[in-house]
Structure 1
Amino acid sequence: MTKRRGNGEDSIYRDGDRWRGAVSVGYDDKGRRVRKKVSGRTRAEVARKLKEVREAVDTGTVPDDRITVKAFLERWVSVNLPGTVAESTEDDYADMVRLHLVPALGRKKLNKLTVAEVDRLWNAKREAGYAANSRKNMRNVLRRALAQAEREGLVARNVAALSAAPRAAQREGRTLTLDQAKDLLRSVESHRYGGAITIALAYGLRRGEVLGLLWRNLDWEARTLRLTHAVKRIKDRDKNSGRKTRIVLSELKTAKSRRTLVLTPEIVSKLRALHAEQAKARLALGEAWQDHGLIFPSEVGTPTDPDNFSHMFSKLAQRAGLGHWHPHELRHSGASLMLAQGTPLHVVSEILGHAGIAITKDTYGHLIVDDKRAAAEAMSGALFGG
């Protein structure tokens, strides 16, 4: 008499000239048993495949032969990604998936995706003219998405993490010389955004950070100013608004980016004058003024459009005889000038809000010539001096 097979046991049977098998891999969200099916030319081949499935079940990685890279990435963008990054970053990731990853890899089975296929994608993007940083961002997005697939047991390994990382050469950005910086500040002193330009240069602030400075974070007595928010432009998720983007004032996400600036008496004096001028403007506009508590708002009190600020700054730089400059170059210039004045690298890193001193060193380490010369002379004196 044939022994009856239990519900959880494997089954192997012949179907014409093929052997087929099935094994229970658990239950779905409705409590129904889920069975994984395999096939082969011989019974031994099917038995081997069933053993591999059982081992995957035991380790918590059950392959799903049906889900494609496209289906998984679209689900990751809509379900897993929201709330884990800033909205602007979420939009960037979604664009990366839609424009680059899905067109190239979307039709492939998720659990069949290989390191070689991912490497070929990065090479294709390089040949198409995409910069190393762009390719690096694509890899980071795919690696983050596949980490979720790995946690869910949909893939045995993260092939994006195993792929070759594009090497991005560190480019040395332009910096204002000390004389150019002085010329610029003299030229913009009477401009309504002169204070914003001064602070961005003096402390190496990002464009959004200087536009997000708040009066309530300014301690007049202690002469400190706390950075907690930034102004940015993000996609408008309201389909009924008729706008593609909107400007928001959002909190800085990381502890390193939320930092305190120590103000000099000269900058405090400029801020006091600006505070008085803003009070007059607020009274003159009356109800038309939309108060957000910003130190550098628009003419009606709302957050300043970062793009408008960039265009305005470029015009002011040209008027000062410097040619076209971008606000981000104020950040690079500020860091360079701080180092030139002998400010320790770790202090510059904290003022800039870098996640770690290694980032500051990689970006600006080539500027610390005097420290290296002093160290060399000290060693020379110790080894060869009298």
Structure 2
Amino acid sequence: MTKRRGNGEDSIYKDGDRWRGAVSVGYDDKGRRVRKKVSGRTRAEVARKLKEVRNAVDAGTVPDDQITVKAFLERWVLVNLPGTVAESTEDDYGDMVRLHLVPALGRKKLNKLTVAEVDRLWSSKLEAGYAANSRRNMRTVLRRALTQAEKEGLVVRNVAALSAAPRTAQREGRTLTLNQAKSLLKSVESHRYGSAITVALAYGLRRGEVLGLRWENLDWEAGTLRLTHAVKRIKNRDKNSDRKTRIVINELKTAKSRRTLVLTPEIITKLRTLHADQAKTRLSLGEQWRDHGLIFPSVVGTPTDPDNFSHTFSKLAKRAKLGHWHPHELRHSGASLMLAQGTPLHVVSEILGHAGIAITKDTYGHLVVDDKRAAAEAMSGALFGG
């Protein structure tokens, strides 16, 4: 074994048919010098790698060729992710890492992960039957995690961002017809969830949004109701509790989702009746009533369990002879009925709380047939007379 070293270079030597090098990257917690080793087919290649290591050290990062995708993702979920997203989103990202990313990519070295390997993962998920939206979410999580790895100098590029984004085709959600909607509302009128179902359908609200509506945001004189919160079920982080999940009231995340509903006289009447009935219940229960200021709480004033609401709604839909329905289909139904009545697409988008009109158009644009026909007829009349 021969050893050669140029001026100003770190240790570079030839070992058989390979060139190798080493550079000091600092000291460990016991004061011992830590050296980073590299290898290559030529002396120039090793010198280049050593220079990259020195540059990384000067920039405040210490490359780690041994860290696996699994080790990095688990650390990212535990250390970097908390506080950057809502708790429910944090839970979803953690599940995505644990169930999909680590089993497929976990054993690979982080800095050796390639775009082709990531693309193969998306292809395998497609073959396994995962929806485009699920695959897109997986890519979002990996891309976000690798952005952190880039910041730390652990990777030189974000292979998830460079991978092919799953193509998403918006599926037409099942919707109630006008007659079905009327039949449902008539059937649930006397049920304690009746007003909640009415409001959810009339404004296309998400399940958590309707359950998070608050009396303090209702302006009786103006006839408006401000959406600011949503009820969600998330993982329980209390180690002293036996319950795996808990119900929380969270503020809506975006400015678009925090919106104001204009109430009709019919809905205001229903809410006045509900307000009076709730006041009587509060008085009769006394200390048993735990007030959270919610318009649609549980029977004791606490947030309504979203899962219980879904189960009850499905039973009510079956009782109305409509079969099995989920509360989210009230949102689709509300949007389609608004458009069927001639409500402009941009107004529907604002009522639904979409981030942009493009989302509304992609999801419900196929329903705006009459507007397209009217535009075509107007152009025809202008161009050809008549």
Which TM-score band (shorter chain)? over 0.9
User: What aligned pairs does 1:17-56 form with structure 2 within 5 A after superposition?
Assistant: 18-24=18-24, 35-40=35-40, 42-54=42-54
Question: What is residue 233 of structure 1 aligned with on the other side?
Answer: 233
1:170-224 C-alpha deviation (Å, 9 max, x unpaired): 1111111111111111111111111100100000000000001011111111111
Change (3 A) 1:326 1:4: closer
Change (3 A) 1:323 1:18: closer
Higher deviation after alignment, 119-128 or 243-252: 119-128
| Native 8 Å contact 1:229 1:250 kept in 2 | yes
Q: Aligned with 1:308: secondary structure?
A: helix
| Native 8 Å contact 1:18 1:42 kept in 2 | yes
Cα distance in 2, alignment partners of residues 258 and 69 from structure 1: 37
| Native 8 Å contact 1:150 1:158 kept in 2 | yes
Structure 2 gaps, min length 5: none
1:346 has 2:364 as partner: no
Question: What is residue 357 of structure 2 aligned with on the other side?
Answer: 357
| Native 8 Å contact 1:289 1:300 kept in 2 | yes
Question: What is residue 136 of structure 1 aligned with on the other side?
Answer: 136
Cα distance in 1, alignment partners of residues 31 and 383 from structure 2: 78
User: What aligned pairs does 1:1-386 form with structure 2 within 5 A after superposition?
Assistant: 9-14=9-14, 18-24=18-24, 35-40=35-40, 42-54=42-54, 63-386=63-386
Cα distance in 2, alignment partners of residues 18 and 380 from structure 1: 76
Aligned length: 383
Q: Aligned with 2:231: secondary structure?
A: strand
1:37 partner letter: K
Change (3 A) 1:30 1:197: farther
Structure 1 gaps, min length 5: none
In the TM superposition, what is the alpha-carbon distance from 1:335 to its structure 2 partner?
0.5
Cα distance in 1, alignment partners of residues 125 and 261 from structure 2: 41
Q: Aligned with 2:168: secondary structure?
A: coil
In the TM superposition, what is the alpha-carbon distance from 1:128 to its structure 2 partner?
2.0
CA RMSD of aligned residues (A): 2.4
Change (3 A) 1:28 1:342: farther
Q: TM-score, normalised by structure 1?
A: 0.93
In the TM superposition, what is the alpha-carbon distance from 1:162 to its structure 2 partner?
0.9
1:67 partner letter: I
Cα distance in 2, alignment partners of residues 178 and 148 from structure 1: 49
Cα distance in 2, alignment partners of residues 28 and 376 from structure 1: 73
In the TM superposition, what is the alpha-carbon distance from 1:54 to its structure 2 partner?
4.9
Q: Aligned with 2:362: secondary structure?
A: helix
Higher deviation after alignment, 194-203 or 174-183: 174-183
Q: TM-score, normalised by structure 2?
A: 0.93
Q: Aligned with 1:246: secondary structure?
A: strand
Cα distance in 2, alignment partners of residues 165 and 184 from structure 1: 40
1:252 partner letter: L
Q: Aligned with 1:374: secondary structure?
A: helix
1:301-321 C-alpha deviation (Å, 9 max, x unpaired): 111111111111111111112
Identical columns (%) = 89
